[in-house]
Amino acid sequence: MKHSYKVIWSNTAEHDLEHIIEYIAIDSLSNALKVLTKIKKKSSALYSFPERGRIIPELREFNILQYREIIVDPWRVIYKITDKIVFVMSVLDSRRNVEDILLDRLVNHRN
């Protein structure tokens, strides 16, 4: 049975994605567009199957289970599901210290 979810990108997630694309575009506009398409395409699954994303391992250690992620290597699209709404919280480069970024963004600065 397909579910229909509303997907809302936070300002932070939109800014993260813009920063990623702008950074890649410095060297190659075509690569930047490919990455944007890849991230948006993979993220479109959140409209139907957001539960497929895994619980974030770095947060699971702290028993924080409401945040999930989909991997668009090397990026991680971080989100949470509330009722029929998927809130995309961040798009992070997994080559960075993801644990510190997640704890700061998702735990210490709750809205």
pLDDT confidence of 61, banded at 50, 70, 90? Answer: confident
Q: What is the pLDDT of residue 2?
A: 60
Percent of the chain with pLDDT over 70: 84
Residue 6 neighbours by CB under 8 Å, 6+ apart: 84, 85, 86
Q: Which domains does the chain have, with CATH numbers?
A: 6-108 (3.30.2310.20)
Percent of the chain with pLDDT over 90: 68
CA angle 68, 48, 82 (to 5 degrees): 50
pLDDT confidence of 105, banded at 50, 70, 90? Answer: low
